[in-house]
Amino acid sequence: MSGSDSRIRVLLVLSDVLSTIVSIILTYWIRVDLISGIRFVTPFLHDITTYLWTIPFVCTLWVLIFSAKGLYRPRRGISGMGEFREIVRAITFGVVIIMAASFLRKFDYSRLIVLSFWACNIIIVGSSRVIIRHFQRKRMRKGHGKTSVIIVGAGETASLIIERMKRVEDLGYQIIGIVDDDKSLSTKTTVMGLPFLGHIDELPQLINQFQ
């Protein structure tokens, strides 16, 4: 993992933790100050301290689930909607675990709070991801945070890969050049519009050179 990928991963973890803390506090405020006054809604008896004590457990659980779902891996060609779907699945799974744990411990939690937290967390985490990905794309367009790659081969498959990498900037790759085992290309300086770096046997030296 590159230094840029590591920084993005740390930023995502911190953002998710902060978003989850905000979601817990916001959910409590909605339940106590907004919903409690509605007719037919049961009065809320729990003190906010009860829910603040859950923050370390919930945040740790969320980071573990998000990590298991691959939400902290480098995002290469995954659409924003695809990432959002994974966030919804991860949060839903986490909420199910919390409900199961509360049942086993015989804790009388507010189901309305759990439902409100689920919705708030999806919105806040999803929004923070949109903001982070927006700035990540802007940096990539300026050449920052990209992973340097060397294309092996100069055939049709290589051509398709090159076309996709050039078309989709979100992949975060910068093509250095091409190597191939075709000796007839040895006199060429460019292949498919990219620098021809040499024979495939030279690949280990080229990797060391461009690291």
At residue 173, φ and ψ (nearest 5 deg) are -115, 145
Q: Which residue has the higher pLDDT, 177 or 146?
A: 177
Query: What is the average pLDDT score of the chain?
Result: 80
Cβ partners under 8 Å of residue 65, min gap 6: 90, 93, 94
Distance CA 2, CA 144 (A): 12
93 CB burial (10 A radius; 0-12, 13-18, 19+): middle
Please report the DSSP string for 150-167 in residue order.
Answer: EEE--SHHHHHHHHHHHH
Give residue-wise pLDDT tens across range 10-28: 999 999 999 999 999 888 8
Instruction: Kindly tell me if the per-residue pLDDT of 109 is higher than 70.
Output: no
pTM of the model: 0.68
Question: Do 185 and 196 touch, CB atoms closer than 8 A?
Answer: yes
